[in-house]
Amino acid sequence: MKSYIVIGLGLFGQAIARQLCMLGAEVLAMDMRSDLVQQVSNDVTHAVVGDAQDKEVLRALGAREFDCAILAIGDDLAASVLITMNLKELGVPYIVCKAHDETHRRVLEKLGADRVVIPEQEHAQRLGRSLHSHNVLEYIELSKDYGILEVPAPKSWVGKTLKELNVRAKLGVNIIAVENGTETNVSPAADYLIREADTMVVLGDNFALEAVQKL
């Protein structure tokens, strides 16, 4: 079972904490405000009131024993910088931070955060992709240049096997799964025959994924 410490229980922090717990992870949620802690106390493994800017508080909570720390404070640069430094000094294996803007992102990355997200920006990019291409069911950004796309099987693919299509060589993408109704075929074999009702889960760089959308 993976374990997470979520610091900062605004809307973003609460949503992350609840989602991780629903997925079966162990979650310690903390905030300086007791009312926010109370709001998630029944939905996570543990919920505590504490100031993560105090390294000794984090040490006492055993922060370094968690697989990942999620710093969900995005509007206070000074606090997020200090907490990120505390987490690094304590030896937390993986640190994810929420940032307010690109400057904030760069600062946290320089401090050693393993991943920095700007939720509003990422949601906007995902929505933009969905609106721009009517056939996109879902887009998940993996990095600045790579993502996972869910699209209905292009008409030109229907009735052909993955071997015949050879999309890795021709388009530079990998089909990592095929969904059909409630069935999901992960890593489909080369002889898999694509059907009209299939949804393709495709991995690739942004340029290659755009090419898939135009098929």
Final residue belonging to a domain, choices 117, 134, 165: 117
Residues 6+ apart with CB under 8 A from 80: 71, 73, 74, 97, 98, 99, 104, 108
* Full residue range of the structural domain in which residue 85 is found: 3-117
Final residue belonging to a domain, choices 81, 98, 117: 117
- 6 vs 31: CA distance, rounded Å: 9
Final residue belonging to a domain, choices 91, 117, 143: 117
- Give 15-49 pLDDT, tens digit per residue: 889 989 888 899 999 999 999 999 999 999 999 99
Kindly report the average pLDDT of the chain as a whole number.
88
Overall average pLDDT of the 85-93 stretch: 95
Indicate the SS3 state at residue 61. coil
Do 71 and 127 lie in a common domain? no
CA of residue 91 relative to chain centroid, distance: 22
- 26 vs 186: CA distance, rounded Å: 27
Q: Are 206 and 172 in contact (CB under 8 A)?
A: no
Do 182 and 129 lie in a common domain? yes
Q: Are 166 and 184 in contact (CB under 8 A)?
A: no
pLDDT in the model for residue 134? 47
Burial of 13 by CB count in 10 Å (0-12 exposed, 13-18 middle, 19+ buried)? Answer: buried
Poorest-pLDDT segment among 68-72, 86-90, 128-132, 207-211: 128-132
pLDDT in the model for residue 141? 67
Poorest-pLDDT segment among 42-51, 127-136, 156-165, 176-185: 127-136
Do 156 and 138 lie in a common domain? yes
Total domain count, the chain = 2
Q: Are 4 and 18 in contact (CB under 8 A)?
A: no
Do 152 and 103 lie in a common domain? no
pLDDT at 122 over 70: no
